[in-house]
Amino acid sequence: MADLMQKTMYRKILEDLIAWKSSKRRKPLILSGARQTGKTYILKKFGKEHYKNLVYVNCENTPMMRNIFVQDYDVRRIINSLSAIANEEIIKGETLIFLDEIQEVQGGLTSLKYFCEDAPEYHIVVAGSLLGIALNGGTSFPVGKVDMMTLYPMTFNEFVMALGEQRYLDFLKAKDWATVEPMRTHYIQLLRQYYFTGGMPEAVAAYIDKASQKEIRTIQSNILAAYFKDISKHAPKNEIQRIELVINNIPSQLSKENKKFIFGALKPGGRAREFEVAIRWLQDCGIVHKVCRVNKPEMPLSFYEDTNAFKLYFCDCGLLGALMKTPVSQIIADDSIFAEYKGAFTENFVLQQLKANSDLDIYYYSNEKSTLEIDFLLQQDGKIIPVEVKAEENLKSKSLKSFVAKHPGTHGIRFSMSGYMEHDWLTNVPLYGVGEWF
């Protein structure tokens, strides 16, 4: 399986890592992301392919790392210690130093400030499954002294590439809709496969290796179990039950017509203040994405953010299916997957692609005085872009049409199961094209 992953798992972030290496303003790099999204794999691959040698140290299972930053932050001493621990020579500009699970050692993140200031000629990257918790849990953060990247689960595009279907992706990249349309059935089948496997590299590798559907679902369930294990081990004891309540409630919340997160659905009389820490914990772990409402669709959207009204999405549609215990047959072979659950899978899929493929701040919009709601509201190139998601080919877009009419200068984007169509107020893009659209 490991050999297969080495051969098939192209990740777009590798291009960003190469650019980081050659940057004149390069700083120590923090790579964050949910557990098992492939952080260790991609950084090792980067180090082996683009440096003379790689010094890799897992801080969690290397006892000698526990006190390496406690004495002081003398970078020369630290580098000598790392060289001895890894039994590898560390050469300026030619060695990649990779400290994995950095949050497990006291002072590890703080030390990056001194690498930046006192030894910028050394190339160092750090990663960890619970970095977000560490960064927001009182750890001294080296503000302005580090570069940051996030690795999300594999996108639909990366999945298609892993399957060896590059030619189909090329048509989407070129927005060659005339060529795409006759092959629509195949694109939909690829989309179904991605809905099932999701973007966790281990699940994708198993799918390519022709593992059974049961085996793939077991992999996904094991990843979910690892998330719950992290919760039990690291979360505040008084928050564990609340965190698990939030996770287990996400599928039913997404299945509603109005997907605004309702605290009363978690428990009778549930209030926002009870679950604030639980939701923040899940965000910091990369397990959920929080999309807040804006109460006024004007630029900059961040000025009009309403943090009290939001939707929660799961980090990966494959894990969402496992959490929902959705029958695999409904995903792979039954049209109902695009209609059932009121678009829960589809909206989660679109959000997952938007998060991974762009640097956009993502919101949603609703008008409390009417039923008008826009699934996602984006700001790009000085424009506000209303986005609607349709799980089927039912293309009635009353809310989107009303929004565009009330806000001259806006142009709607609708992602649906229908083919590409261009209108004066709206562009309909096939769901399988979302990764290339923005």
Tens digits of residue pLDDT in 154-207: 999 999 999 999 999 999 999 999 999 999 999 999 999 999 999 999 999 999
What's the pTM?
Answer: 0.92
Q: Where in the chain is the domain with CATH 3.40.50.300?
A: 2-150
- Tell me: pLDDT of 84 over 60: yes
Share of the chain above pLDDT 90, in %: 76
- Mean pLDDT along residues 374-383: 93
| Model confidence band, residue 360 (pLDDT cutoffs 50, 70, 90) | confident
Overall fold of domain 2-150: Rossmann fold (3.40.50)
pLDDT digits (tens, 9 = 90+) for 404-413: 999 999 999 9
Phi, psi values for residue 156, rounded to 5°: -60, -40
Quote the pLDDT of residue 132. 67
| Model confidence band, residue 54 (pLDDT cutoffs 50, 70, 90) | very high
Exposed, middle or buried, 58 (CB in 10 Å: 0-12/13-18/19+)? middle
Q: What is the mean pLDDT of the chain?
A: 91
- Tell me: pLDDT of 4 over 80: no
Quote the pLDDT of residue 337. 53
- Tell me: pLDDT of 6 over 50: no
- Mean pLDDT along residues 79-106: 95
User: Higher pLDDT residue, 142 or 377?
Assistant: 377
| Model confidence band, residue 2 (pLDDT cutoffs 50, 70, 90) | very low
pLDDT digits (tens, 9 = 90+) for 215-262: 999 999 999 999 999 999 889 999 999 999 999 999 888 888 788 899
